[in-house]
Amino acid sequence: MPAFPASDTFFTRRLAAKGNPLLIAGPCSAETEAQVLATARGLQALGNIDLFRAGIWKPRTRPGSFEGMGSVALPWLQRVKAETGLPTATEVATPRHVEEALHHGIDVLWIGARTTVNPFAVQELADALAGTGAPVMVKNPVNPDVALWAGALERLERAGISNLAAIHRGFSTFAPSRYRNAPTWMLPIELKTRFPHIPLLCDPSHIGGRRDLLLPIAQKALDLDYDGLMIETHPDPDHALSDAEQQVTPQRLGEILSELKYRYRSS
């Protein structure tokens, strides 16, 4: 089990308590209160999920796609925590998002792939997050540039934010690929050698873009000693308003998790 001797964060505490992988699950987007709560109850029943994710402000590549419910969905996440005890996470892209999410008791924030590419935006987020103590997860930038990913982590660290995790969600590529975003496994491994104190998580949903690729990608991540997984889950994946092809029901997630071969297991 990899250890994080120098750090005591939301992520490392959970890893120390239960062993890896840290498990994050929830819908790509919060759509309705009923959908969010149904997902959370299904995940709670699995008994091993560490953090509930749901996107509220969705940075879609093209206009006209579902761009998220916005602030109206924040109380839905509060209800998830009140009813299931699961801590919650959402994506933030502006200082206003940070302020609103923290005001509504969201436990963990993440910076998405389309924001990590922009040093101005990352710096604004770092300034807004400074002193809040909020745990932050940083997805890799959409393009295969490990320096931008490292630079975002450095901006946060320089703002005094040490409660960090990195998420590998794959990289855009021109080359034909079976993946939605090519994993290019050597890039996150390079990041890990530069930031050994920061847990590295894998997002098989956005790498694969397809349900049938979740298991092999997650297995590869575990074989490479990743510290956790983030997998999108929805009670009715085919009708999801975003990323329908890659989401799975909480029940299917449970099957995937039981099919994985774990190198380190606390029990």
The contact set with ligand PEP (CB under 6 A) reads 28, 55, 112-114, 139, 169, 206
Q: Which listed option, Mn ion, ligand PEP, none, makes contact with residue 113 (CB within 5 to 8 Å by class)? A: ligand PEP
Closest CB 230 distance from Mn ion, rounded Å: 10
Q: Which listed option, ligand PEP, Mn ion, none, makes contact with residue 250 (CB within 5 to 8 Å by class)? A: none
**CB of 95 within 8 A of CB of 128?**
yes
How many CB atoms sit inside 10 A of residue 158's CB?
11
CA distance 83 to 130: 30
Return the number of the residue (55 or 199) whose C-beta is nearest Mn ion: 55
Return the number of the residue (155 or 206) whose C-beta is nearest ligand PEP: 206
Closest CB 247 distance from Mn ion, rounded Å: 8
| Tokens describing residue 39 | 């997902």
Return the number of the residue (131 or 232) whose C-beta is nearest ligand PEP: 232
Q: Which listed option, ligand PEP, Mn ion, none, makes contact with residue 139 (CB within 5 to 8 Å by class)? A: ligand PEP
**CA-closest candidate to residue 168, choices 158, 182, 157, 151:** 182
Return the number of the residue (3 or 150) whose C-beta is nearest ligand PEP: 150
Give the three-state DSSP class for 228.
strand
Closest CB 104 distance from ligand PEP, rounded Å: 19
Closest CB 3 distance from ligand PEP, rounded Å: 28
Return the number of the residue (55 or 87) whose C-beta is nearest ligand PEP: 55
CA distance 252 to 63: 31
Bridge-partner residues for 53, per DSSP?
89
Closest CB 242 distance from Mn ion, rounded Å: 6
| Tokens describing residue 216 | 């092999």
**CA-closest candidate to residue 91, choices 183, 12, 28, 36:** 28
